[in-house]
């Protein structure tokens, strides 16, 4: 069979282009397969989920409390050890809670090591008293929760962080 003249000139270029495209495609498939294999073997990084935030008022004392509830989810395929939790509200008008410790004036910390099994969550509750005397208030601050955990497979301490806006109001 006779090949047209224009095809003889462009055939090597088309072969090179198709070979290059197929090579990059197979490389992409290999990277995705390795990533999924790694995640199926080790799991995903733990994360922090805020389940409740807001204000609460004690009717007898007229105290205003900021309430924060959050969970730390272990998405690894093995247990991890939670070493410390630091919570920063970005404001200095609060008083501490019973089972939490103040570091400075704006960071709350809990440093009891806790083991979290694979695909399980650990729940934490925090209530802080607002030292403002205003009858009506709107409170918005940057909320940062940082948790350090020990990863036994990598034999290293790692950190997971949650940052959001904490909003509370009372009328």
pLDDT at residue 62, as a whole number: 58
Which percentage of the chain shows pLDDT scores above 90?
Answer: 34
Domain boundaries, the chain: 9-42, 44-170
pLDDT at residue 23, as a whole number: 97
pLDDT at residue 137, as a whole number: 53
Task: Give per-residue pLDDT as tens, 43-100.
Answer: 888 999 999 887 766 555 556 677 888 999 999 989 999 998 888 876 555 666 656 7
Backbone dihedral angles phi then psi of residue 91, each to the nearest 5 degrees = -145, 160
CATH of 44-170, one of 3.30.1370.60, 3.20.20.70, 2.60.40.10, 1.10.340.30: 2.60.40.10
pLDDT at residue 136, as a whole number: 47
Look at residues 145, 142, 128, 143 and name the one whose alpha carbon lies nearest to residue 73.
145
pLDDT at residue 49, as a whole number: 93
pLDDT at residue 90, as a whole number: 67
pLDDT at residue 159, as a whole number: 93
Tell the residue number behind the tokens 């501490």, with chain if given.
96
Sheet hosting strand 64-73, strand order edge to edge? 47-57, 64-73, 121-130, 94-95
CA distances 36 to 27, 32, 43, Å, are 14, 6, 10
Look at residues 162, 169, 171 and name the one whose alpha carbon lies nearest to residue 50.
162
């Amino acid at each position: 069979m006779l090949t047209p003249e224009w095809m003889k000139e462009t055939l090597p270029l088309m072969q090179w282009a198709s070979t290059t495209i197929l090579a990059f495609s197979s490389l992409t498939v290999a990277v995705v397969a390795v990533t999924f294999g790694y995640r199926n073997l080790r799991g995903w990084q733990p994360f922090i989920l805020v389940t409740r935030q807001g204000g609460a008022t004690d009717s007898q004392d007229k105290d205003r409390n900021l309430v924060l509830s959050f969970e730390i989810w272990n998405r690894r395929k093995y247990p991890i050890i939670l070493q410390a939790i630091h919570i920063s509200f970005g404001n200095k008008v609060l008083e501490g809670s019973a089972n939490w410790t103040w570091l400075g004036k704006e960071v709350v910390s809990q440093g009891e090591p806790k083991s979290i099994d694979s695909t399980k969550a650990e729940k934490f509750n925090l209530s802080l008293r607002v030292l403002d005397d205003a009858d009506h208030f709107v409170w918005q601050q940057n909320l940062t929760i940082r948790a350090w955990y020990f990863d036994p497979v990598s034999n290293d301490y790692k950190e997971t962080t949650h940052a959001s806006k904490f909003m509370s109001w009372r009328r």
